[in-house]
Amino acid sequence: MRDRMVKFYAKDDNTITLNATPGHFATSSSHINFYIDVTRLKVRANEAREAARSIKNKMLHHVTTVDTIVCMDGTEVLGAYLAEELEKGHFANNNKHETVYIVSPEVNSINQLLFRENVRPAIEGKNVLLLLATMTTGETVRRSLECIEYYGGNIVGVSSIFGTMTKVGNTEVFPLFTTDDLPGYQTYAPHECPYCKKGIPIEAMVNGFGYSKL
């Protein structure tokens, strides 16, 4: 797959790029025609720092207060740099120590998201930003938001490296890359997938962590 990867540039900042591979791929709830590889923006410090700066700029004038960033899909490095950007100014913080908390939920044996007792104070009563690697149908986002609300968090926004939507319900989404940045990107319900109808096999299962070939 690596030899077919195409580089795409963020329209708002052409110093930030991601790689995508065309083909027939499946997520947990949809089929897509590009595998979006966000690995570099999650694990390389310099690129994560630049991505965090760009996400912060997208949030300006839309979000005023962030106490906690909830990181999904292994986005903790990006979340740490985003917290640093938010603490530089323009965003309020109500935490006692005047710093942004960065946490991730645990997934139990029946695939439920939960926060342990020692982490719950970082959620309960806090203004929470949800950070993900990728968003396609929004199902993972909705499940994550339900978890945050269950533990008493006040959701102020959602951000992602790549996303197909700008709102989930009444919650604003601030994606670094959108479908406008990836010409030709499509997502399909499994029963409507044109690749399946043509008998083209699924190449890999994909999510925000990466891919597994079939």
Higher local confidence (pLDDT), 53 or 137 = 53
pLDDT for 38: 93
Q: pTM to 2 decimals?
A: 0.93
pLDDT for 90: 86
- The domain that holds 155 is classified in CATH as 3.40.50.2020
Task: Examine the pLDDT at 138 and tell me if it is beyond 90.
Answer: no
pLDDT for 158: 97
pLDDT for 204: 95
At residue 139 the predicted structure's pLDDT band, cuts being 50, 70 and 90, is: confident
Report the distance separating Cα 44 and Cα 156, nearest Å.
Answer: 27
- Residue numbers of the domain that contains 78: 2-213
In the chain, pLDDT over 70 holds for what percent of residues?
Answer: 100
Residue 101, exposed/middle/buried by CB under 10 A (0-12, 13-18, 19+)? buried
The pLDDT tens digits of the residues spanning 98-120 come to: 999 999 999 988 889 999 999 99
The pLDDT tens digits of the residues spanning 40-86 come to: 999 999 999 999 999 999 999 999 999 999 999 999 999 999 999 99
pLDDT for 109: 86
pLDDT for 149: 96
In the chain, pLDDT over 90 holds for what percent of residues?
Answer: 80
Q: 11-42 in b/e burial notation, b at 16+ Cβ within 10 A?
A: eeeeebebbbbbbbbbbeebbbbbbbbbebbb
Give the mean pLDDT of 18-43.
94
User: What is the number of domains present in the chain?
Assistant: 1
Report strand pairing: 154-163 vs 127-135: parallel
pLDDT for 171: 93
Q: DSSP string spanning 33-55?
A: EEEEE-HHHHH-HHHHHHHHHHH
